[in-house]
C-alpha cells in the first residue's frame, strides 16, 4: 500500500484483539501519515504479498528454543502458502503446527469417550475450535473442564 506522498507504507504492528479481529497499523515514515485497520485476519490476507505474523504469533515463535524456531517458521509459512493466508495469527500458528488438526491429550481423549454419544461430536468440535482460537495445539483436561461448564453444563461425574 502506498501513502499519498508516494512512499510505501510500512507495517508497524498487528495486534490480535480477539479470535476474529486484529488491529493493523501502518506508518509512512516520511510524512506523518498513519493508517489503522481493524479487520478479520482472513480478510487482511490480500493486503500483503508476503507472510506477516501478528505480534502474538511472533511472541510464540520468540519463546521457542533457537533450534526449533526456524523449523516452525518454515512449516507455518508453507502451510500459510497452501491456505492462501498471509496474516498468521496465534490460532493459525497452532493450526499450522498440526496441519489443521488439534490433537488430544490421552486423558482428555478418554474422558471424551465417556461423554454421552449424542453430545460427543458437538463437544469434540467445540473443544477443538476453542483450542485453536486460543492458539493451543492440544485439547487438555483443564480446557475440557472449562468448556464443559460453560457450554454443556455437564456434571463432573462424566470425567
By the 8 A CB rule, do 100 and 142 touch?
no
Smallest gap, in angstroms, from Cβ of residue 15 to Zn ion? 22
Helix axes 90-97, 55-62, angle to 10 degrees: 50
Q: Residue 128: which region, alpha, beta or left (left: phi > 0; alpha: psi -120 to 50)? A: alpha
Q: Does 3 bind Zn ion (CB under 5 A)?
A: yes
Q: Does 35 bind Zn ion (CB under 5 A)?
A: no
Name the segment binding Zn ion (CB under 5 A); options: 22-30, 59-67, 83-91, 138-146.
22-30
Q: How many of the other CB atoms lie within 10 Å of CB of 30?
A: 12
Name the segment binding Zn ion (CB under 5 A); options: 28-36, 107-115, 122-130, 132-140.
28-36
CA–centroid distance for 34 within its chain = 26
Q: Does 26 bind Zn ion (CB under 5 A)?
A: no
Nine cell digits for residue 133: 482460537
Q: Does 31 bind Zn ion (CB under 5 A)?
A: yes
**Toward Zn ion, which CB reaches closer, 14 or 28?**
28
Q: Does 28 bind Zn ion (CB under 5 A)?
A: yes
**Toward Zn ion, which CB reaches closer, 19 or 37?**
37
CA–centroid distance for 64 within its chain = 16
Interface positions with Zn ion (CB under 5 A): 3, 5, 28, 30-31, 33
Amino acid at each position: 500500500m502506498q501513502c499519498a506522498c508516494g512512499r510505501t507504507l510500512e507495517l508497524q504492528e498487528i495486534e490480535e484483539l480477539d479470535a476474529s479481529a486484529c488491529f493493523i497499523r501502518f506508518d509512512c515514515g516520511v510524512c506523518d501519515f498513519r493508517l489503522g485497520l481493524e479487520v478479520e485476519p482472513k480478510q487482511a490476507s490480500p493486503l500483503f504479498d508476503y507472510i506477516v505474523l501478528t505480534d502474538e504469533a511472533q511472541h510464540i515463535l520468540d519463546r521457542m528454543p533457537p533450534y526449533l524456531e526456524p523449523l516452525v517458521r518454515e512449516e507455518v509459512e508453507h502451510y500459510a502458502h497452501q491456505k492462501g493466508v498471509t496474516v498468521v495469527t496465534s490460532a493459525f500458528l497452532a493450526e499450522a503446527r498440526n496441519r489443521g488438526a488439534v490433537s488430544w491429550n490421552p486423558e482428555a481423549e478418554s474422558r471424551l469417550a465417556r461423554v454421552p454419544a449424542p453430545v460427543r461430536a458437538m463437544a469434540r468440535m467445540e473443544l477443538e475450535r476453542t483450542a485453536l482460537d486460543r492458539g493451543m495445539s492440544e485439547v487438555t483436561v483443564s480446557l475440557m473442564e472449562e468448556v464443559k461448564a460453560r457450554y454443556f453444563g455437564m456434571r463432573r461425574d462424566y470425567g
